[in-house]
Amino acid sequence: MKDNKGDIIVNISVSTIIKTILVLVLFYVLYRLSDLVLVILTSIVLASSVEPATKWFIRKKIPRIPAVILVYLFFIGLFGSIFYFFLPPLLQDFSQFFASLPQYFNFLDKWNPWPEVLDYKAILQNLTSRFTPAQGAGGSASVGNITQALGGIFQGVFNFVLVLVLSFYFAVQEKGIENFLKIIVPQKNEKYIIDLWYRSQHKIGKWMQGQILLGVMVGVLVYLGLLILGVKQAFLLAFIAAVFELIPVFGPTLSAIPAVMIAFTDSASLGFMTVGLYILIQQFENHLIYPVVVRKVVGVPPILVILGLIIGIQLGGFMGLILSVPLAAVLMELVNDLEKRKTTSG
């Protein structure tokens, strides 16, 4: 707006100032309650992931609440069995691997092109300090560190229970997530946001199904191959290979590094055979497993997944890791909608 002299006058109404203050207060509250926000978002993702199984039970004429209870009992039993049978050998392999780190680092020192830059002994000391409680003046772990560790464990358990309770609450209601979105979303954007979420939910479910199947199959192949070759800590290395399948493009290569290092410390021939095994499995994955398992999945671009995983871990730890790909899927749907609007308007 200009006055009679041609100078620009900026008018800011009281309502604009109030709205700005409210938005800033809202962001501050969300920042202060970031842990709670992560718990709620994780609960929504978990409730959405069990929805296909719940609908399967409903089609078998089982009411929704018993169907959700059956699904939760199944997954609790499944994960409980996995922990009971697989956690002890995994921890044993991890303990052996950690105890053998000096030997592995001595091997790496022989092939270290930049000894001044890559100091493996310093890395080992750093790792050891992370897993060892800080010592007080009397040589014992300080009370503050123990209290902090116990507080972190309690917070993690509390968040886990809260996620289960909230996700169960969302799941037992036929439109639990939709009703929650209606509460927090402005009415003028309500229809679009709900439609966006359901489209994203479908993509998230397909992506998770494909990645879980892919990880299990690759993990089994790596374990059997390393077991036949006689590579140490085969179970731990297979677990690493399965988990690293979540990382597109670079995951399989990164998971091969510790296995090759362990094999070469035993003998050069075992090392080269291990390299050949991982190359063979990767080719098998790229040309057979991936097209069959993930071909029908509406995927998320690999670079977006990688960035999402990095940002999720940095901002939210484990729960941020869980939320990274779902949020990337929502972002992809939002970007696609914006592109469609531009095309239509153009």
Q: pLDDT by residue (tens digit) across 309-331?
A: 777 777 667 667 677 777 777 77
68 and 107: one domain? yes
Flag whether pLDDT at 287 surpasses 60: yes
Flag whether pLDDT at 6 surpasses 70: no
275: confidence class by pLDDT, cuts 50, 70, 90? very high
Among 337, 346, 14, 20, CA closest to 189: 337
pLDDT, residue 228, reads 93
Flag whether pLDDT at 62 surpasses 80: yes
229 and 327: one domain? yes
Residue 16 lies in a domain: no
Residue 235 lies in a domain: yes
Stretch 226-252: mean pLDDT, rounded?
A: 86
Distance CA 26, CA 17 (A): 14
207 and 147: one domain? no
Distance CA 107, CA 232 (A): 15
pLDDT, residue 214, reads 83
Structure tokens at 97: 């691997």
Domain that holds residue 267: 185-346
Long-range contacts of the stretch 159-164 (C-beta < 8 A, 24+): 159/35, 159/38, 159/39, 159/319, 162/39, 162/43, 163/39, 163/42, 163/43, 163/46, 163/319, 164/46, 164/72
203 and 95: one domain? no
**Would you tell me how many other CB atoms lie within 10 Å of the CB of residue 58?**
15
187: confidence class by pLDDT, cuts 50, 70, 90? confident
Final residue in a domain of this structure, among 118, 153, 179: 179
Burial of 212 (0-12, 13-18, 19+ CB in 10 A): middle
Q: Which residues are paired to 135 by β-bridges?
A: 141
196 and 272: one domain? yes
Final residue in a domain of this structure, among 124, 159, 179: 179
By mean pLDDT, which of 62-71, 138-147, 274-283 is the weakest?
138-147
- What rounded mean pLDDT belongs to the chain? 75
* Per-range mean pLDDT, top range of 113-117, 234-238, 298-302: 234-238
Distance CA 346, CA 343 (A): 5
Structure tokens at 84: 């009971």
**Global pTM value:** 0.67
Helix, strand, coil shares of the chain, percent, nearest 5, are 80, 0, 15
Residue 1 lies in a domain: no
172 and 223: one domain? no
Stretch 24-52: mean pLDDT, rounded?
A: 73
166 and 194: one domain? no
Flag whether pLDDT at 244 surpasses 80: yes
Flag whether pLDDT at 136 surpasses 60: no
215 and 160: one domain? no
Higher-pLDDT residue of 147, 140: 147
Higher-pLDDT residue of 205, 172: 172
pLDDT, residue 279, reads 92
Flag whether pLDDT at 9 surpasses 60: no
How far lies 128's CA from each of 29, 124, 150, in Å?
Answer: 38, 6, 20
pLDDT, residue 145, reads 61
162 and 235: one domain? no
Residue 258 lies in a domain: yes
pLDDT, residue 277, reads 93
159 and 230: one domain? no
Higher-pLDDT residue of 10, 274: 274
If you write DSSP's letter for every residue of 237-284 in order, what string do you get?
HHHHHHHGGGSTTTHHHHHHHHHHHHHHHH-HHHHHHHHHHHHHHHHH
Residue 14 lies in a domain: no
Stretch 7-30: mean pLDDT, rounded?
A: 62
pLDDT, residue 221, reads 93
By mean pLDDT, which of 68-72, 123-127, 181-185, 278-282 is the weakest?
123-127
164 and 255: one domain? no
Residue 197 lies in a domain: yes
First to last CA, the chain: 31
Residue 260 lies in a domain: yes
Stretch 119-133: mean pLDDT, rounded?
A: 58
Distance CA 295, CA 308 (A): 22
64 and 165: one domain? yes
- How many independent structural domains does the chain possess? 2
CA 259 vs. chain centroid, Å, equals 23
Residue 12 lies in a domain: no
